[in-house]
Amino acid sequence: MWFVAAMPSLAATPLYSADAETISISGAPSDRDMKRLVSQTRSSNIGPTALYYAGVTAPVISAGTAFVTREMLASTAFTDYWILLTSSLLAAMAGISWYLIFMRWSYRHNHGRAAELDSETAIDLTPTGLHIRRGDVETRIAWRALRSVRESRRDTLITFRGADPLLVPDKWFGRDKQAAQAFRARLREGLHDGEEETIAGTRRK
Q: What is the pLDDT of residues 26-51, one digit of tens each?
A: 887 777 777 777 666 665 556 667 77
pLDDT score for 140: 92
- Reduced to 3 states (helix: H, G, I; strand: E, B; else coil), residue 147 is strand
What is the reported pLDDT for 166?
A: 86
Q: Are 141 and 194 in contact (CB under 8 A)?
A: no
* Whether residue 37 is found in the same domain as residue 59: no
Partners of 132 in beta bridges: 123, 139
**Which range (14-18, 19-23, 118-122) has the least confidence?**
14-18
Task: Please indicate, yes or no, whether residues 147 and 88 belong to a single structural domain of this protein.
Answer: no
Distances (CA, A) of 26 to 131, 181, 183, 184: 11, 15, 12, 14
Specify whether 62 is located in the same domain as 147: no
Choosing from 80, 105, 130, the residue where a domain stops is: 105
Banded pLDDT at 53 (limits 50, 70, 90): confident
**Containing structural domain, residue 85:** 48-105
Q: How many domains does the chain have?
A: 2
Is the pTM higher than 0.85? The answer reads no
Report pLDDT digits (tens) over 110-165: 544 545 566 788 999 998 899 999 888 888 999 988 988 888 888 888 888 888 88
Q: At 188, which CATH number?
A: 2.30.29.30
Do 61 and 123 lie in one domain? The reply is no
Q: In what order do the strands lie in the sheet with 155-160?
A: 166-169, 155-160, 146-151, 195-198
**What per-residue confidence (pLDDT) applies to 29?**
78
Per the domain annotation, does 194 fall within a domain? yes
pLDDT value at 82 more than 60 = yes
Kindly state whether residue 182 falls inside one of the protein's structural domains.
yes
Domain annotation covers residue 2 = no
User: Do 137 and 187 sit in the same domain of this protein?
Assistant: yes
